[in-house]
Amino acid sequence: MKKIIVILGPTGVGKTKLSVELAKRLNGEIINADSMQIYKKLDIGTAKIKEEEKEILEKTKYWLDRYFKGEKPSIDELDLSPLGSDFRKRVWKILCEIPYGEVITYKDIADTIAKQKGLKKMSSQAVGGAVGHNPISIIIPCHRVVGTNGSLTGYAGGIDKKVYLLKHEKVNMEKLFIPKKGTALWVWIFVFIA
């Protein structure tokens, strides 16, 4: 029997309003990624979701299965419509354009947006905030964004997960490094069908 699972992170985040609402709507499990404590358990058979929502979840599972088998599924295979401000959506669109196995910097994204808007410059920190609020990690590949100096910073799932994903995509890690301190972390939520 299949279950919908909502995973939360990082350390100390606990249940967020969004994750609780999502799990409530999907009648799914909420798991804290650090403690793996299960807060709520219901099987998908009792889930109160629309048929088209089941289809989206199944397609997402299929996409992720292929990704982790080493395939390069296209983001276009999924009908993504993350909720966010126009600025965040613009950043997430750029994330979707980063090729598999490559990285770009927060500054690259800031420069692209500045050019699109006819501005002299754009804040890399503002871009970092939008990247950090990416609601669809892995599929919208925020793990492919690094600091200008090659710093692997700001991945909500933890730097070890970012390194894993980049190595999985066979990114050249020679010029990339894990910072000693000051890494920003944001809340992440991930949903899949088990």
State yes or no: is 142 an active-site residue: yes
Rg of the chain over Cα atoms, rounded to whole angstroms, equals 17
71 to 46, 67, 139, 168, 194: CA distances (angstroms):
33, 5, 13, 10, 20
Residue 11 CB partners (closer than 8 Å, separation 6+): 34
Q: How far apart are CA 175 and CA 109, in angstroms?
A: 19
- Distance (Å, rounded) from C-alpha 167 to C-alpha 149? 19
Catalytic residue of the set 142, 145, 152, 166: 142
Q: Which residues are catalytic?
A: 142
